Amino acid sequence: MTDGARTATLPGPAPREVATHCPYCALQCGMTLREEHGQVTVLPREFPTNRGGLCQKGWTSAELLTHPDRLTTPLLRDPVSGELRPASWDAALDRIVTGLRDTQQRHGRDAVAVFGGGGLTNEKAYALGRFARVTLGTRNIDYNGRFCMSSAAAAGMRAFGVDRGLPFPLSDLGRADTLLLVGANPAETMPPLMRWLTEQRQRGGKLIVVDPRLTATARQADLHLQPLPGTDLAVANALLHIALTAGYVDESYVANRTTGFTAVRRTVAGWWPARAEALSGVPVADLEETARALGTAQRAIILTARGAEQHAKGVDTVTGFVNLALALGLPGRPGSGYGCLTGQGNGQGGREHGQKADQLPGYRKIDDPEARAHVARVWGVSADELPGPGVPAYQLLDSLGTASGPRALLVFGSNPVVSAPRAARIEGRLRDLDLLVVADFLLSETAALADVVLPTAQWAEEDGTMTNLEGRVLRRRALHRPPPGVRTDLQILTTLTTRLKGGAPSYRLAHRKGPLLTTIEHAADGADATDGEHGADPRAVFDELRRASAGGLADYAGISWERIDAADGVFWPCPDEDEADSPRLFADRFATPDGLARFHPVEHRPAAEEVCAEYPLYFTTGRVLAQYQSGNQTRRVGALRRAAPQAFVELHPDLADRLEVTEGEPVRVVSRRGEFHAPARLSAAIRPDTVFAPFHWGGAARANSVTNDAVDPISGMPEFKICAVRVEKAGTS
């Protein structure tokens, strides 16, 4: 973590200061932006999640506001040269509307698809879902959050009846006597969270980390379990086996607050520690120490993250650790529980309000007649007009441009050319489309393939709400208006609705107190005015979201912008403005019909692809401190680029010796699906049978060129975290 302020020169309006939140991860650290004399400065702000701390990405976040790569005019692909050329908004919108109408007339409504992102505000995620299902009438919508937390979400739903990443505030981590992190590396992915882990250890707590690599987080742990990739479920079942035999199970809790434990008891009876050690490589002594630390703690917390989830058995793996938490009586106990560390900035809110293929706002299921009727009333349409469930993200992307798949795609806030598994295949699918439209503020690898690119506002240029990993709804506040020629995603969706349907969404602003800098007030800046501007007011959209979510699992009905402004955010569910919100869940009951949590027996199964003579090594991916997601933003920031200038392939020194590879030497990683190239980085932090690479880079260094596109049958999560590869010197054939 770093201290100090970062500035970006900006020809802005009068001096202004605004309290807002970092544009990156789901920690959503509080920060203050100050604009004075043409400069934007990032200042620390005391907020419950980060307590004034920011990581290097947060400190440098303002630099992108005036980056020379910033898009400020629409781009159209020239049919003759094939190049993207600047165009007017009218020309760009005409191309989109004509293409969408023609596609649906020739191939049907589902021939148009929408792909969103976990970084969009709640208002934009909600509006995108409404746009897809009402304006376009297509079932084909999903988002990149499917690649982030979908397995944990599915496991939480089937165990607890609700999905909220952390059902307790982050501050509980600092008071835990034992904290088990499974597949999580917050020291690099969300550094300010480490303050809570430091506090936990200073209080005498025990930190245990499960990870195939000795990460920066694992180095701070009291105990590091280093399993073979893909064997976390065996570890979970063995820990529960030990808890049963050692008498750590809270039998009263199990009897009174859960159901289904008998079947789980039978399943884990076969997972004696020695069997788990033979499969995972984790010593029996470490398994026993972990179970003892959890089972004897007054306050214990189990957290999972991408390392456990991004597998073709991710839902079952997370369920294994949920079973362990339930057996120990942790969920709902003060200071204890199970949770998941959401990754993307609005990974929580982004999946609650309609971007997911099978969901409607409020975390309602789209195939539930009562849910359809409620949302249809709010939207002013017949429930029969709403399409049915779509397909998960990878299945959707892999069907693009095929005879039975969508022929046109609109992308908001995502870069699947870099982030999708088997990325070369997905890049080819995108090239096969009749029409690809991308809305972004930088020309990403995906935008570079588009027929139309629309320049959008950045985080500091629009108002809205985000929901962080705790389920805390926050206010993102605009510091200034977007540059001339740039529009917000809400303005774009409203304009497209107007042109496609002859009318804008009927969002109604219920009330407004005090001055509000909304992007809509500046919609007419520049040469092109926005059609149907009343539909682009983020506060009005949020008020409709509240009505649409009312009565759902993720109930925002009692959350207003004023209430958020008066506090450090508001936790959902919050059905009434006059009642308290819900920082902690499950104290008395779970969100199931009978109030009981559900155990589910889960068995370890091998990875979708195992090593062999041709591909003898395990490959896994992850992140580094100075970069974020597909890198489209962070790779353009000078300080971050200097800190992490290029991709790398992490090899154990023993493996490097066998391959005759030296530090920094270019190597090629090859799987059955493709290959990528990067310099070797030798480190004893990785297992000798495993290779690691970060996924933030595109082009020849794109790690997702080799990852497996096998998916979890429940969540649709691809198996990013394990596949079989070989490593060669880059000069060999």
Q: Is a pLDDT exceeding 90 seen at residue 512?
A: no
Q: How many helices (H) and strands (E) does the chain have?
A: 23, 29
Helix (H, G, I), strand (E, B) or coil at 208: strand
Strand blocks (E) in 394-514: 408-412, 435-440, 452-455, 464-467, 472-476
Is residue 140 located within the same domain as residue 22? no
CA–CA separation, 152 and 340 (whole Å): 7
Instruction: Please provide the DSSP assignment of 123-187 as one string.
Output: HHHHHHHHIIIIII--S-EEEGGGGTTHHHHHHHHHHHSS--S-SS-GGGGGG-SEEEEES--HH
Q: Which among 341, 360, 391 is the end of a domain?
A: 341
pLDDT at 553: 97
> Same structural domain for residues 62 and 85?
no
| Statement to judge: residues 373 and 305 lie in one domain | no
Instruction: Determine the 3-state secondary structure of 458 from DSSP.
Output: coil
In the predicted structure, residue 80 carries a pLDDT above the cut 70: yes
Alpha helix (H) residue ranges in 258-368: 261-268, 273-280, 284-295, 306-309, 314-327, 347-350
pLDDT of residue 309 exceeding 50, the answer is: yes
Asked if pLDDT for residue 523 goes beyond 50, the answer is no
When pLDDT is averaged across residues 4-12 and rounded to a whole number, the result is 54
Contact 209, 246 (CB under 8 A): no
Number of domains within the chain: 4
Taken in order 135, 139, 144, 145, is the CA torsion positive or negative? positive
DSSP 338: E
Whether 276 and 329 share a structural domain: yes
654: domain CATH number is 2.40.40.20
Q: What is the dihedral of CA 529, 533, 538, 542, to 10 degrees?
A: -160
**How far apart are the C-alpha atoms of 501 and 496, rounded to whole Å?**
8
Beta strand 75-77 with 258-259: parallel, antiparallel or unpaired?
unpaired
**For position 537, which CATH number holds?**
3.40.50.740
> In the predicted model, is pLDDT for residue 532 greater than 70?
no
Question: What mean pLDDT comes out for the span 203-220?
Answer: 97
Give yes or no: residues 190 and 106 share one domain.
no
Rounded-to-integer distance, Cα 489 and Cα 124, Å: 7
d(CA 253, CA 292): 18
Q: Are residues 553 and 650 in the same domain?
A: no
Q: Are 659 and 630 in contact (CB under 8 A)?
A: no
> Has residue 578 been placed in a domain?
no
With cut-offs at 50, 70 and 90, classify the pLDDT of residue 732: low
Distances (CA, A) of 653 to 245, 657, 688, 728: 39, 6, 8, 15
> Of 66, 94, 115, which residue sits at a domain end?
66
- Do 251 and 123 share a structural domain? no
Residue 511 lies in a domain: yes
Would you say residue 608 lies in a domain?
Answer: no
Average pLDDT of the residues in 708-730: 97
Q: Which residues pair with 213 in a beta bridge?
A: 686
- The least confident of 481-485, 501-505, 629-633 is 501-505
Q: How confident is the model at residue 10 (pLDDT cuts 50, 70, 90)?
A: low
Locus of tokens 């060999």: 732
Last residue of a domain, one of 66, 92, 107: 66
Shortest CA distance to 585 belongs to which of 577, 576, 594, 597? 597
Q: Name which of 457, 453, 440, 444 is nearest 416 in CA terms.
A: 444
Cα gap 239→241, rounded to integer Å:
5
Give yes or no for residue 288 having a pLDDT over 60: yes
CB 489 within 8 A of CB 457: yes
Range 609-622 average pLDDT: 97
Which pLDDT belongs to residue 215?
97
* ω into 573 cis (within 30 of 0): yes
- The confidence score (pLDDT) of residue 733 equals 57
How many whole angstroms separate alpha carbon 589 and alpha carbon 600? 18
Query: Confidence band (pLDDT; 50, 70, 90) for 542?
Result: very high
Asked whether residue 679 is assigned to any structural domain, the reply reads yes
- Band of the pLDDT at 372, cuts 50, 70, 90? very high
Do 365 and 418 sit in the same domain of this protein? yes
Within-domain flag for 602? no
Question: What residues have CB less than 8 Å from 437, skipping those under 6 apart?
Answer: 96, 99, 408, 409, 410, 411, 450, 451, 452, 453, 454
Does 363 lie in the same domain as 294? no
Looking at the fold, whether 361 and 335 belong to one and the same domain comes out as no
> At residue 522, does pLDDT exceed 90?
no
Looking at the domain assignment, is residue 581 inside a domain? no
Give the rounded distance of the alpha carbon of 228 from its chain centre. Answer: 25
- The helix (run of H) or strand (run of E) holding residue 246 is helix 232-246
pLDDT tens-place string over residues 677-696: 999 999 999 999 999 999 99
Residue 700 region by backbone torsions, left for phi larger than 0, else alpha for psi between -120 and 50, else beta: alpha
pLDDT band at 674 (very low <50, low <70, confident <90, very high): very high
Does residue 102 share a domain with residue 163?
A: no
The average pLDDT across 427-447 equals 98
Structure-block tokens of residue 114 = 């929408």
Interior angle at CA 675, CA 674 and CA 679, nearest 5: 170
Percentage with pLDDT > 70 across the chain: 93
Domain that residue 633 falls in: 617-729
Query: What is the band of 343 on the pLDDT scale with cuts at 50, 70, 90?
Result: confident
State the Cα torsion 58-59-64-68 to the nearest 10°. -150
Whether 99 shows a pLDDT value over 50: the answer reads yes
Give 158-184 pLDDT, tens digit per residue.
999 999 999 999 999 999 999 999 999
Per-residue confidence (pLDDT) for residue 536, from 0 to 100: 87
Ramachandran angles phi, psi of 622, nearest 5°: -175, -160
Task: Judge whether 592 lies within some domain.
Answer: no
Domain assignment present for residue 607? The answer is no
- CATH number (domain holding residue 13): 2.20.25.90
Percent of residues, the chain, with pLDDT higher than 90? 91
8 Å CB contact between 408 and 434: yes
CATH code: domain of residue 250: 3.40.228.10
Are 395 and 500 contained in the same domain? yes
- Please give the biggest Cα pair distance in the chain: 74
Find out whether 151 and 317 touch, Cβ atoms under 8 Å.
yes
Assigned token pair, 229: 């990739």
Tell me the average pLDDT of the chain.
Answer: 93
Interatomic CA distance for residues 353 and 545, integer angstroms: 8
Q: Residue 434, Cβ neighbours under 10 Å: how many?
A: 17
